[in-house]
Amino acid sequence: LGPTEAIKASTEYVCSKLSQSTTKYKRNKLHKRDEFYVEPELKGIGTRFEIQKPNALQPALPVRLQCTFPYISILQSLKCAFKNKSFLETYLEYNKHGNGHTCKEGDYIDFCCGSVYKSRSIFQKFPNSLQIQIFLDDFEPCNPLGSKATLHKICGVYFSVRNMPQNSKLSSIYLIALCNSDDLKTKSTDYNNLLRLIVEDLKVLEVDGINVSSDLNLKGTLGVFSADNLGANGAFGFVESFGSANIHFCKICELPKYRCQTACKEDISAMRTIKNYEVHLETISNSTKVNLEQTKGIKRDCDLNKLKYFHTMENYCIDQMHDVAEGIVPFVLHQVFQYIIEKKICTEISLTHKIQFYDYGIIESKNVPSMIMLSKPNLNQNAAQSMCLFKNIPYILSGLKEKLNEIWICVTSLQKIIQTIESDKIHESDLILLESNIHDHLESLQNIFGVKLIPKHHNLVHYPRVIRAMGSVKNMSTIRFEAKHQVFKSISRQNKNFKKLTYTLAMKHQKLIAKKMKTFSNILEVSSSKGKVISSDQLPINIMKDSAFEIKRLTI
Q: In angstroms, rounded to a whole number, what is the distance separating the alpha carbons of residues 248 and 444?
A: 25
Three-state DSSP class for residue 489: helix
Long-range contacts of 148-153 (CB under 8 A, 24+ apart): 152/180, 152/498, 152/501, 153/180, 153/181, 153/182
Query: Which of 355-359, 406-410, 494-498, 533-537 has the weakest average pLDDT?
Result: 533-537
Mean pLDDT of 128-139: 93
Mean pLDDT of 311-316: 91
Residue 420's pLDDT is 93
Structural Rg of the chain based on CA atoms: 27
Instruction: Work out the mean pLDDT of the chain and round it to a whole number.
Output: 85
Residue 246's Cβ-count burial label (10 Å; 0-12, 13-18, 19+) is: exposed
CA distances from 91 to 98, 100, 169, 433 (A): 11, 11, 15, 36
Contact at 8 Å (CB) between 47 and 188?
yes
**The pLDDT of residue 97 is above 80:** no
Which of 30-34, 94-98, 144-148, 449-453 is most confident? 449-453
**The pLDDT of residue 63 is above 50:** yes
Contact at 8 Å (CB) between 280 and 292?
no
Q: In angstroms, rounded to a whole number, what is the distance separating the alpha carbons of residues 351 and 72?
A: 51
Residue 264's pLDDT is 93
pLDDT band of 556, cuts 50, 70, 90: very low
User: Is the residue at 401 inside a domain?
Assistant: yes
Query: Which of 70-74, 254-258, 525-529 has the weakest average pLDDT?
Result: 525-529
Same domain (yes/no): 401, 451: yes
Contact at 8 Å (CB) between 220 and 131?
yes
Contact at 8 Å (CB) between 419 and 472?
no
The conformation of residue 453, written as its DSSP 8-state character, comes to P
**The pLDDT of residue 75 is above 90:** yes
Residue 399's pLDDT is 86
Residue 148's pLDDT is 59
User: Is the residue at 31 inside a domain?
Assistant: no
Q: At a CB cut-off of 8 Å and minimum separation 6, what does 368 contact?
A: 360, 385, 388
CA proximity to 136, closest of 206, 192, 76? 192
Residue 529's pLDDT is 45
Domain-terminating residue out of 461, 490, 509: 461
Same domain (yes/no): 430, 351: yes
Instruction: Report the amino acid identity of residue 447.
Output: N
User: Is the residue at 357 inside a domain?
Assistant: yes
User: Is the residue at 135 inside a domain?
Assistant: yes
Q: In angstroms, rounded to a whole number, what is the distance separating the alpha carbons of residues 310 and 305?
A: 6
**The pLDDT of residue 533 is above 70:** no
Residue 153's Cβ-count burial label (10 Å; 0-12, 13-18, 19+) is: middle
Same domain (yes/no): 68, 165: yes
User: Is the residue at 532 inside a domain?
Assistant: yes
User: Is the residue at 154 inside a domain?
Assistant: yes
CA proximity to 440, closest of 466, 413, 422? 413
pLDDT band of 288, cuts 50, 70, 90: confident
Residue 149's pLDDT is 65
Three-state DSSP class for residue 501: helix
Same domain (yes/no): 58, 159: yes
Same domain (yes/no): 154, 218: yes
Residue 301's pLDDT is 92
Q: In angstroms, rounded to a whole number, what is the distance separating the alpha carbons of residues 4 and 155?
A: 58
Q: In angstroms, rounded to a whole number, what is the distance separating the alpha carbons of residues 237 and 300?
A: 5
Contact at 8 Å (CB) between 190 and 74?
no
Residue 288's Cβ-count burial label (10 Å; 0-12, 13-18, 19+) is: exposed
pLDDT in tens, 480-525: 899 999 999 998 888 877 788 899 999 999 999 998 888 887 654 4
Query: Which of 37-46, 70-79, 547-556 has the weakest average pLDDT?
Result: 547-556
Residue 147's pLDDT is 55
pLDDT band of 545, cuts 50, 70, 90: very low
Same domain (yes/no): 530, 514: no
CA distances from 241 to 182, 234, 280, 297, 545 (A): 17, 10, 19, 10, 57
Annotate 23-69 with DSSP letters as a single string.
Answer: SHHHHHHHHHH-TT----EEEEEEEEEEEE-SSTTSPPEEEEEEEEE
Domain with 528, as residue range(s), is 524-553
Same domain (yes/no): 453, 499: no
Same domain (yes/no): 64, 212: yes
H/E segment holding residue 199? helix 192-207
Same domain (yes/no): 330, 422: yes
Q: In angstroms, rounded to a whole number, what is the distance separating the alpha carbons of residues 386 and 383?
A: 5
**The pLDDT of residue 169 is above 60:** yes
User: Is the residue at 386 inside a domain?
Assistant: yes
Rounded to the nearest 10 degrees, what angle do helices 408-421 and 329-342 cross at? 160
Neighbours of 168 (CB within 10 A): 15
Domain count, the chain: 3
User: Is the residue at 130 inside a domain?
Assistant: yes
Same domain (yes/no): 343, 445: yes
Residue 24's pLDDT is 72
**The pLDDT of residue 123 is above 50:** yes
Query: Which of 86-100, 221-235, 430-444, 472-486 has the weakest average pLDDT?
Result: 86-100
Same domain (yes/no): 174, 70: yes
What is the distance in angstroms between the CA of the first residue and the CA of the last residue of the chain? 43
Q: In angstroms, rounded to a whole number, what is the distance separating the alpha carbons of residues 484 and 284?
A: 37
Instruction: Indicate the pTM of the whole model.
Output: 0.86
Same domain (yes/no): 512, 531: no
**The pLDDT of residue 532 is above 70:** no
Residue 98's pLDDT is 67
pLDDT band of 311, cuts 50, 70, 90: very high
The conformation of residue 371, written as its DSSP 8-state character, comes to -
pLDDT in tens, 376-419: 888 989 899 999 999 999 999 988 888 888 899 999 999 999 99
Residue 240's pLDDT is 86
Mean pLDDT of 327-354: 92
Q: In angstroms, rounded to a whole number, what is the distance separating the alpha carbons of residues 154 and 433?
A: 41
